[in-house]
C-alpha cells in the first residue's frame, strides 16, 4: 500500500494568537494522517489564554504552540493556505504559484465585549466554527481527494 503524502496546510490570521492557533490544533487532531498543519500571522503576538482554555474543553492542548509571523520560505512549501480573517486575506503576501488559497471568514472573538460567560461563549463559537470547517475540509480530502 502506498503511503499518502500529507498536505501541508497553513492557517493565517492577523496576530496568530487565536483563530489560526485553534485551527492548527484542531487540524493536527482531526487531520492526523491527512494534513500537516501550520499557522502564522501577519505579526506574532502570543497564544491567547482563552483560546487555550476553550481548546482544552475539547481535549486539544495548544498551550505549547507559539505565535509566529509568516515565514515566506515556509509559505512556498505549502500545498494550501487558508486565511481566517479579512485582514489576513487582503494583507497576506501573494500566494506563491501552484499553492491553493482558500478564505474562511471567521469572526475574531478577541474583541468581544460582555460578561466573562459571553466572552468565553464567543471563543467557543469560533472554535466550533473552525472545527466544523476543518472536519468538512479533511472529509473532502479523504473521500473525494479534492478541496472545495
| Three-state DSSP state, 43 | coil
For range 117-140, the mean pLDDT: 97
Q: Which tens digits make up the pLDDT trace of 43-91? A: 888 999 999 999 999 999 999 999 999 998 999 999 999 999 876 666 6
Residues contacting residue 59 through CB under 8 Å, at least 6 positions apart: none
In the numeric block, the cell 487565536 is attached to 18
Distance, in Å, from the CA atom of 42 to the CA atom of 92, rounded to the nearest integer, reads 7
Please answer whether residues 115 and 46 qualify as being in contact, where contact means their C-beta atoms are separated by less than 8 angstroms.
no
Rounded to 10 deg, the angle between the 116-144 and 19-30 helix axes is 40
Arithmetic mean of pLDDT over the chain: 90
* 18 has catalytic annotation: no
Of 7, 13, 84, 110, which residue is the catalytic one? Answer: 13
Helix (H) or strand (E) holding 13, with range, is strand 7-13
Domains and CATH numbers, the chain: 7-144 (3.40.50.2300)
> What pLDDT was estimated at residue 142?
87
| Number of other residues whose CB lies within 10 A of the CB of residue 133 | 18
The C-alpha cell that represents 82 in the structure block? 487558508
Of 15, 85, 110, 134, which residue is the catalytic one? Answer: 85
Q: How confident is the model at residue 3 (pLDDT cuts 50, 70, 90)?
A: low
Distance, in Å, from the CA atom of 79 to the CA atom of 38, rounded to the nearest integer, reads 11
Q: Which tens digits make up the pLDDT trace of 99-111? A: 999 999 999 999 9
* 92 has catalytic annotation: yes
Of 15, 92, 122, 134, which residue is the catalytic one? Answer: 92
Taking phi over 0 as left and psi of -120 to 50 as alpha, with beta for the rest, 84 belongs to alpha
Amino acid at each position: 500500500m502506498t503511503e499518502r503524502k500529507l498536505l501541508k496546510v497553513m492557517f493565517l490570521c492577523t496576530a496568530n494568537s487565536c483563530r489560526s492557533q485553534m485551527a492548527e490544533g484542531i487540524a493536527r487532531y482531526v487531520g492526523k494522517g491527512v494534513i500537516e498543519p501550520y499557522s502564522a500571522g501577519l505579526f506574532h503576538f502570543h497564544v491567547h489564554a482563552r483560546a487555550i482554555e476553550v481548546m482544552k474543553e475539547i481535549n486539544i492542548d495548544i498551550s505549547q504552540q507559539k505565535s509566529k509571523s509568516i515565514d515566506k520560505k515556509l509559505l512556498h512549501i505549502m500545498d494550501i493556505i487558508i486565511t481566517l480573517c479579512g485582514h489576513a486575506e487582503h494583507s497576506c503576501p501573494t500566494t506563491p504559484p501552484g499553492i491553493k488559497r482558500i478564505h474562511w471568514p471567521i469572526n475574531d472573538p478577541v474583541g468581544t465585549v460582555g460578561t466573562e460567560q459571553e466572552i468565553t461563549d464567543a471563543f467557543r463559537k469560533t472554535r466550533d466554527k473552525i472545527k466544523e470547517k476543518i472536519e468538512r475540509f479533511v472529509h473532502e480530502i479523504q473521500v473525494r481527494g479534492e478541496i472545495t
